[in-house]
Amino acid sequence: MTQKREFIPQELPLNFNPTEQIYKALNRASRKLGELNGFIKTIPNHDILINSLVLQEAKDSSAIENIITTHDELFLAQIDETKIAQSAKEVMNYEIALKKGYSLIKKDNLFLTRHILEIQKHLQRSNAGFRTQSGTMLKNPATGEIKHIPPQHLAL
């Protein structure tokens, strides 16, 4: 069994020679993105599309950290804040952070380091900044399976 390691991307430019199969897949994907772009232009309020995905992403991403909730709990939390389960509260906080990140990117037309820090500040309610100590990983506590190893070095 191989040891899982952090993902470190290759330096740019990549040494990459796409095949004909890759070009065909790229062409199909490009056409589909064009169709999606055309469809999106028919939506009067673009935020409807974003908002429909944000809660699902918040729920799924929270599950990676063993914060499990149901759609019913999340929808109930949006209606009545007095009946929020702790797990739903965490997911709702993540949803707010996602929306904050989206609005920052939309405003600046870029995804910047300061955006990451602002989102982190909201989630952790601190100014912790980027992690400088190595050895951090997300593990399933029951099985010990490593789910994710973030970068272990600070290079900004």
* pLDDT single digits (tens) 132-150: 667 777 778 888 888 777 7
Q: Residue 113, Cβ neighbours under 10 Å: how many?
A: 9
Give per-residue pLDDT as tens, 89-111. Answer: 888 888 999 999 999 999 999 99
93 near 65, Cβ under 8 Å?
A: no
12 domain-assigned: no
Amino acid at the residue 81: E
* pLDDT for res 23: 96
pTM of this structure: 0.61
Amino acid at the residue 89: K
SS3 content of the chain, % helix, strand, coil (to 5): 55, 5, 40
Give per-residue pLDDT as tens, 70-79. Answer: 888 888 888 8
- In degrees rounded to 5, what are phi and psi of residue 146? -80, 120
**What is the domain count for the chain?**
1
Helix (H, G, I), strand (E, B) or coil at 139: strand
Say which residue, 118 or 152, is predicted with more confidence: 118
96 domain-assigned: yes
Confidence check: pLDDT of 64 > 70 = yes
82 domain-assigned: yes
Confidence check: pLDDT of 2 > 70 = no
Alpha-carbon distance of 12 to 7, in angstroms, equals 15
Read off the tokens for 114: 């300061």
Domain range for 109 is 46-148
